[in-house]
Amino acid sequence: MADIRFEAVQRAFVQGGKEFLAVGGIDLVVANEEFVAIVGPSGCGKTTCMRMVAGLDQPSSGRVLVNGQEVTGPGPERAVVFQQFALFPWKTVFENIAFGLRAMGLGQTEIDDRVNRFISMMGLSGYEQAYPHQLSGGMQQRVAIARAYVLDPGVLLMDEPFGALDAQTRVVMQEELVRLARKNPKTVLFITHAVEEAVYLADRVVVMSRRPGLIREIIDVKSIREKERWDDHPRIEDVMDLGSFVHLRSHIWRTLREQHLGDDQ
Amino acid sequence: MIAAQTSKPWLQTLRLSLTGIVLFLGCWYLAVFLEVTPRRFLPAPHEVLFRFVQLIQEPFVGFTLGQHLLSSFRRFLNGFLLAIAIGIPLGLLMALSRGVQLLVTPIFESIRFVAPIAWVPFAALWFGTGIGGPTLVIFMGAFPPVLINTYRGAIYVDRKYIEAAKMLGAGPIRLMTQVLFPASLPSIVAGLRISAGLGWQSLVGAELIVASSGVGYMMVKGQASIQTQIVMAGMIAIGLVGLLIDILLRRMERRFNRYQEVH
Amino acid sequence: MPSSLPSFVRYLYPPVFLLGTLLAWFAVSEWWQWISPTRFPTPTQTAEAFQRILIQGYGNGRLHQHIVQSVLLVSLSFTISAALGIALGIFMGASRKIEALVNPVFLTLRPIPPLAWIPLAIVWLGLENSAKVMVIFVAAFVPSVINTFTGIRSLEVPQREAARMLGIRGRAYYFEVLIPAAMPMIFTGMRLSLQASWTTLVASELVGAVLGLGSILNQAAQDINPPMILVGMIFVALSGWLMTYGLGLLERLAIPWRPV
Residue of C147, C233, C239, C247 to mutate, testing the B interface (most B Cβ within 10 Å of its Cβ): C233
Write C58-64 long-range contacts (CB < 8 A, 24+): C58/C216, C58/C219, C58/C220, C58/C228, C59/C211, C59/C215, C59/C216, C59/C218, C59/C219, C59/C220, C60/C210, C60/C211, C60/C215, C61/C211, C63/C235
ipTM entry: 0.88
Q: Give the torsion sign (CA, A196, A201, A206, A212).
A: negative
Edge-to-edge strand list for the sheet holding A18-30: A18-30, A4-15, A61-66, A69-70
Instruction: Provide CB contacts within 8 A for B112, sequence distance 6+.
Output: B144
Q: Any CB–CB contact under 8 A between B222 and chain C?
A: yes
CA distance B109 to chain A (A): 31
Cβ atoms A199, A205 nearer than 8 A:
yes
Q: Count of CB atoms within 10 A of residue B190's CB? A: 20
C258 contacts in A (CB within 8 Å)?
89, 131, 133
Residue type, C90: I
What is the Cα–Cα distance from B154 to B93, expressed in whole angstroms? Answer: 9
Find the mean pLDDT for residues B104-109.
Answer: 86
Cβ atoms B192, B103 nearer than 8 A:
no
Q: What is the pLDDT of residue A204?
A: 95
Give the residue ranges of DSSP H helices in A105-214. 108-121, 137-149, 167-183, 195-201
What is the Cα–Cα distance from B128 to B151, expressed in whole angstroms? Answer: 33
Which C-chain residues 180-209 have CB contacts (< 8 A) with chain A? 180-181, 183
- Within a 13 Å sphere around the CA of C184, how many CA atoms are in the beta-carbon half? 10
Give the pairing type, strands A4-15 and A18-30: antiparallel
SS (H, E, C) B39-51: CCCCCCHHHHHHH
In this structure, what are the phi and psi dihedrals at residue A165, rounded to the nearest 5 degrees?
-100, 160
Q: What is the pLDDT of residue A260?
A: 64
Bigger pLDDT: A1 or C152?
Answer: C152
pLDDT-above-70 percentage for chain B: 95
What is the Cα–Cα distance from C178 to C173, expressed in whole angstroms? Answer: 6
Instruction: Provide CB contacts within 8 A for A216, sequence distance 6+.
Output: A207, A208, A209, A255, A259
B118 contacts in C (CB within 8 Å)?
202, 206, 214, 217, 232-233, 236-237
Q: pLDDT tens digit string along B211-233?
A: 778 888 889 888 888 888 889 99
Find the mean pLDDT for residues C171-182.
Answer: 93
B23 contacts in C (CB within 8 Å)?
101
**Residue A11 falls within a domain, yes or no?**
yes
| Mean pLDDT, chain B, integer | 85
Instruction: Provide CB contacts within 8 A for B126, sequence distance 6+.
Output: B132, B133, B136, C39
Q: Any CB–CB contact under 8 A between C220 and chain B?
A: yes
Q: For residue A121, which of A142, A91, A95, A148 has the smallest C-alpha distance?
A: A142
Rg (CA), chain C: 23
Are C258 and A82 an interchain contact pair (Cβ–Cβ within 8 Å)? no
Cβ atoms B242, B197 nearer than 8 A:
yes
Q: For residue C141, which of C202, C77, C81 has the smallest C-alpha distance?
A: C81
Give the pairing type, strands A4-15 and A61-66: antiparallel
- Tell me which residue in C166, C180, C183 faces A100 most closely, judged by beta carbons: C166
**Residue A131 falls within a domain, yes or no?**
no
CA distance A74 to chain B (A): 16
At residue C109, does pLDDT exceed 90?
no
Give the pairing type, strands A187-191 and A155-159: parallel
Q: Quote the number of domains for chain C.
A: 1
Cβ atoms A133, A75 nearer than 8 A:
no
Q: Any CB–CB contact under 8 A between B98 and chain C?
A: yes
**Residue C51 falls within a domain, yes or no?**
yes
At residue C242, does pLDDT exceed 50?
yes
Are C206 and B209 an interchain contact pair (Cβ–Cβ within 8 Å)? yes
Give the pairing type, strands A35-39 and A187-191: parallel
Q: What is the pLDDT of residue B1?
A: 39
Instruction: Provide CB contacts within 8 A for A240, sequence distance 6+.
Output: A196, A200, A246
Instruction: Provide CB contacts within 8 A for A149, sequence distance 6+.
Output: A79, A118, A156, A180, A184, A186
Find the mean pLDDT for residues A92-97.
Answer: 96
Q: What is the pLDDT of residue B7?
A: 60
Find the mean pLDDT for residues A82-96.
Answer: 94
Q: What is the pLDDT of residue A262?
A: 55
Q: For residue C259, which of A142, A129, A132, A99 has the smallest C-alpha distance?
A: A132
**Residue A95 falls within a domain, yes or no?**
no
Q: Any CB–CB contact under 8 A between A14 and chain B?
A: yes
DSSP state of C27: I
Find the mean pLDDT for residues B64-92.
Answer: 92
Res. C4 pLDDT band, cuts 50 70 90: low
Q: Any CB–CB contact under 8 A between C87 and chain B?
A: no
In total, the C-beta contacts within 8 angstroms joining chain A to chain C are 78
CA distance A106 to chain C (A): 13
What is the Cα–Cα distance from C127 to B107, expressed in whole angstroms? Answer: 35
At residue A233, does pLDDT exceed 50?
yes
**Residue C35 falls within a domain, yes or no?**
no
A12 contacts in B (CB within 8 Å)?
3
| Mean pLDDT, chain C, integer | 88
Are A74 and C259 an interchain contact pair (Cβ–Cβ within 8 Å)? no
Domain of C101 in residue numbering reads as 45-254
Cβ atoms A143, A122 nearer than 8 A:
yes
Which A-chain residues 97-156 have CB contacts (< 8 A) with chain C? 99-100, 102-104, 131-133, 140, 147, 151
**Predicted structure pTM score:** 0.84
Mean pLDDT lowest for which of A63-77, B137-151, C8-22, C187-201? C8-22
- Tell me which residue in A74, A88, A131 faces C164 most closely, judged by beta carbons: A74
Residue B234, CA distances (Å) to A179, A262, B134, B247, C214 in order: 73, 70, 18, 20, 24
- Tell me which residue in C102, C117, C217 faces B20 most closely, judged by beta carbons: C102
At residue A124, does pLDDT exceed 90?
yes
**Residue A8 falls within a domain, yes or no?**
yes
B/e letters for A72-93, b = 16+ CB within 10 Å, e = fewer, are: eebbbbbbbbbbbbbbbbbbbb
At residue B262, does pLDDT exceed 50?
no
Q: Any CB–CB contact under 8 A between C14 and chain B?
A: yes
Q: For residue C155, which of A88, A217, A10, A116 has the smallest C-alpha distance?
A: A88
DSSP state of A132: G
Cβ atoms C70, C205 nearer than 8 A:
yes
Q: For residue C117, which of B215, B232, B206 has the smallest C-alpha distance?
A: B232
CA distance B4 to chain A (A): 9
- Tell me which residue in C105, C112, C220 faces B20 most closely, judged by beta carbons: C105
Q: Any CB–CB contact under 8 A between A10 and chain B?
A: no
pLDDT-above-70 percentage for chain A: 97
Give the residue ranges of DSSP H helices in chain B. 9-33, 45-57, 65-96, 98-112, 120-127, 132-155, 159-167, 172-174, 181-209, 215-224, 228-261
Give the residue ranges of DSSP H helices in B156-180. 159-167, 172-174
The residue count for chain B: 263
**Residue A197 falls within a domain, yes or no?**
yes
Are C119 and B223 an interchain contact pair (Cβ–Cβ within 8 Å)? yes
In total, the C-beta contacts within 8 angstroms joining chain A to chain B are 10
Give the pairing type, strands A204-208 and A35-39: parallel
Which C-chain residues 109-148 have CB contacts (< 8 A) with chain B? 109, 111-120, 122-124
Q: Any CB–CB contact under 8 A between B85 and chain C?
A: no
**Residue A147 falls within a domain, yes or no?**
no
- C neighbour chains, 3+ CB pairs within 8 Å: A, B
Q: Any CB–CB contact under 8 A between B208 and chain C?
A: yes
- A neighbour chains, 3+ CB pairs within 8 Å: B, C
**Residue A160 falls within a domain, yes or no?**
no
Q: Any CB–CB contact under 8 A between C251 and chain A?
A: no
Q: Any CB–CB contact under 8 A between C164 and chain A?
A: yes
Q: What is the pLDDT of residue C253?
A: 92
Q: pLDDT tens digit string along B140-187?
A: 999 999 999 999 888 887 778 878 888 888 787 877 788 888 888 888
Find the mean pLDDT for residues A62-82.
Answer: 93
Q: Any CB–CB contact under 8 A between C54 and chain B?
A: no
Q: From A11, which residue of chain B is nearest by alpha-carbon distance? A: B3
What is the Cα–Cα distance from B116 to B138, expressed in whole angstroms? Answer: 7
CA distance C154 to chain A (A): 13
CA distance C163 to chain A (A): 8
Q: Any CB–CB contact under 8 A between C257 and chain A?
A: yes
pLDDT-above-70 percentage for chain C: 98
What is the Cα–Cα distance from C28 to C231, expressed in whole angstroms? Answer: 19
Q: What is the pLDDT of residue C5?
A: 61
Cβ atoms C78, C197 nearer than 8 A:
yes
Q: What is the pLDDT of residue A265?
A: 41
For residue A27, the domain's CATH number is 3.40.50.300
- Tell me which residue in A84, A103, A151 faces C158 most closely, judged by beta carbons: A84
Are A58 and B1 an interchain contact pair (Cβ–Cβ within 8 Å)? no
C167 contacts in A (CB within 8 Å)?
74-76, 100, 103-104
Q: What is the pLDDT of residue B161?
A: 81
Find the mean pLDDT for residues A19-26.
Answer: 87
Q: pLDDT tens digit string along A154-211?
A: 999 999 999 889 989 999 999 999 988 888 899 999 999 899 999 999 999 999 988 7
Cβ atoms A213, A242 nearer than 8 A:
no
Mean pLDDT lowest for which of A239-253, B122-136, B220-234? B122-136
**Residue C37 falls within a domain, yes or no?**
no
Q: What is the pLDDT of residue C1?
A: 38
Bigger pLDDT: A10 or B180?
Answer: A10
Q: What is the pLDDT of residue C135?
A: 92
- Within a 13 Å sphere around the CA of B155, how many CA atoms are in the beta-carbon half? 16
For residue C133, the domain's CATH number is 1.10.3720.10
Q: What is the pLDDT of residue A82?
A: 94
Res. A75 pLDDT band, cuts 50 70 90: very high
Helix axes B120-127, B132-155, angle to 10 degrees: 120
Res. B2 pLDDT band, cuts 50 70 90: very low
DSSP state of C30: I
What is the Cα–Cα distance from A127 to A134, expressed in whole angstroms? Answer: 9
B3 contacts in A (CB within 8 Å)?
11-14, 58, 60
- Tell me which residue in A85, A90, A103 faces C172 most closely, judged by beta carbons: A103
What is the Cα–Cα distance from C34 to B52, expressed in whole angstroms? Answer: 50
Are B223 and C113 an interchain contact pair (Cβ–Cβ within 8 Å)? no
Domain of A230 in residue numbering reads as 4-72+188-264
**Residue A244 falls within a domain, yes or no?**
yes
**Residue C214 falls within a domain, yes or no?**
yes
A14 contacts in B (CB within 8 Å)?
1, 3
At residue B237, does pLDDT exceed 60?
yes
pLDDT-above-90 percentage for chain A: 73
Are B3 and A15 an interchain contact pair (Cβ–Cβ within 8 Å)? no
Q: What is the pLDDT of residue A145?
A: 95
